[in-house]
Amino acid sequence: MNSSGTVVASSCGGGKAGPTSSWRGRGTRLGLAFGLGLALASVAAPARADDPPPVAESAAAEARQQYGMGTQAFAQKRYSEAALHFEAAASFKASAIALYTAALAWDLASRPERAADAYARSLEVPGLDPKQTTIAKDRVSALEKTLGTVAVTAPEGWKVQLDTLTEVQTPARLHGSPGVHTLTVRIPGKPIERRDVTLDAGKVTTLELEEPPPAPVAEPEPASTAPEPPPAPPARLREPFWTTLRVVGVGVAGVGVAALGAGVILGTSANGAKDAYDAGPTRAAFDHASSLQTWTNVTLITGAVLVAGGVALVVLPLGNERSEGQVKVGAAPGSIVVGGTF
């Protein structure tokens, strides 16, 4: 390239023939060299008044350096190296010309998938003249007939990369040979994601990436509480002590005590009658003493039975057991018998 920014034709005229898929049937690299000349001339053209303001000087300087290194590599027919420098220049400063020249270099390096990517990217950035735009569109159309294409859309700031090719911002149009490829997705602030993409020759696969749904927030588990104790059995009403049976028992026992007292009195009288009979035995005195003795025994036994029965009624019937227990009081010769079942 001379000082006026034009390309010397001999700089790209040599070398082996380009790929058979060269656009519009060209079998040599003259068309690509002419396209590169147009690109270099566009870079060397003075900036217009309505051009956007320049980026930071350090980035602009790095972009110029990378582009210059790419130009030198291209002149020495190191096309892959040149393409990488041109893409690096575009990463420092968005430039349709840098991407267009990278596409020309990839085309000459027989890397159709990378050439198609670069041509497509150059069409997304303003800066190509009408002829360069036509060439880029024609090459993308021609290359996509033999390559598979995936058109990726995603939220702003996301980047994607097909296999080990150049990582680009979304939306992006990526190309590869027919088959299964790995699409790497870089989401700001999140781990890198990878997914398989199947490409078919001559077909465009549309892939829309979306924000993953937020992870569900686990609700805090309620604090474990001790199991409630089983309900206490209903309290049994305490039966009053002076029940009807106990009152009856006291009465019966009282009658029995009175009978015992009467028996003692009768016994005293019987002893007196016996003494009188011994002093003067008569039939009347004997009958009187015997009668008193009999009534004394009956009275004492009856009193004892009544006292025992009354005590049993007071002591034995406890709670509900009174309905199940039975008490029996009886007399035997010379004794009192108290029995029962519970």
Whether 30 is in a domain gets the answer yes
pLDDT score at 259: 76
More confident residue, 176 or 321: 176
Mean pLDDT of all residues in 238-259: 74
- Strand, coil or helix: what is 65? helix
Is it the case that residue 24 has pLDDT exceeding 50? no
Same domain, 256 and 150: no
> pTM for the whole thing?
0.51
Same domain, 208 and 124: no
- pLDDT class for 39, splitting at 50, 70, 90? low
Beta strands 148-153 and 204-208, pairing class: parallel
Same domain, 139 and 9: yes
Same domain, 154 and 131: no
Same domain, 323 and 288: yes
pLDDT score at 121: 93
- pLDDT class for 256, splitting at 50, 70, 90? confident
Residue-range definition of the domain harbouring residue 12: 1-45+55-143
pLDDT tens-place string over residues 280-318: 778 777 777 788 778 888 887 887 887 777 777 777 655
Residue 320 has which token pair?
A: 């509900």
CA atoms of 87 and 174, how far apart (whole Å): 15
Whether 249 is in a domain gets the answer yes
Same domain, 192 and 258: no
Whether 68 is in a domain gets the answer yes
Same domain, 135 and 270: no
More confident residue, 327 or 282: 282
pLDDT tens-place string over residues 47-87: 343 444 454 678 889 999 999 999 999 999 999 999 999 99
Is it the case that residue 198 has pLDDT exceeding 70? yes
The three state secondary structure string of 92-112 is HCCCHHHHHHHHHHHHHCCCH
Same domain, 4 and 139: yes
Which 8-state DSSP code applies to residue 239? P
pLDDT tens-place string over residues 128-186: 999 999 999 999 999 999 999 999 999 888 999 999 888 898 899 899 999 999 999 99
CATH number at residue 99: 1.25.40.10
Whether 85 is in a domain gets the answer yes
CA atoms of 140 and 23, how far apart (whole Å): 10
CATH number at residue 165: 2.60.40.1120
Cα first-last separation, the chain:
129
Same domain, 203 and 70: no
pLDDT score at 242: 67
Which residue, 212, 231, 262, sits at the end of a domain? Answer: 212
Is it the case that residue 9 has pLDDT exceeding 50? no
Contact 64, 44 (CB under 8 A): no
Same domain, 136 and 263: no
More confident residue, 99 or 29: 99
Q: Which residue has the tokens 């009347």?
A: 284
Is it the case that residue 10 has pLDDT exceeding 60? no
| Poorest-pLDDT segment among 6-10, 129-133, 259-263 | 6-10
Is it the case that residue 326 has pLDDT exceeding 60? no
- In what helix (H) or strand (E) does residue 339 lie, and over which residues does it extend? strand 335-341
Residue type, 76: Q
More confident residue, 34 or 173: 173
- In what helix (H) or strand (E) does residue 152 lie, and over which residues does it extend? strand 148-153
The rounded mean pLDDT for the chain is 75
Q: Which residues of 291-327 are buried (b: 16+ CB within 10 A; e: fewer)?
A: ebbebbeebbbbbbbbbbbbbbbbebbeeeebeeeeb
| Poorest-pLDDT segment among 4-8, 210-214, 218-222 | 4-8
CA atoms of 16 and 288, how far apart (whole Å): 170
pLDDT score at 286: 78
Which residue, 143, 167, 183, sits at the end of a domain? Answer: 143
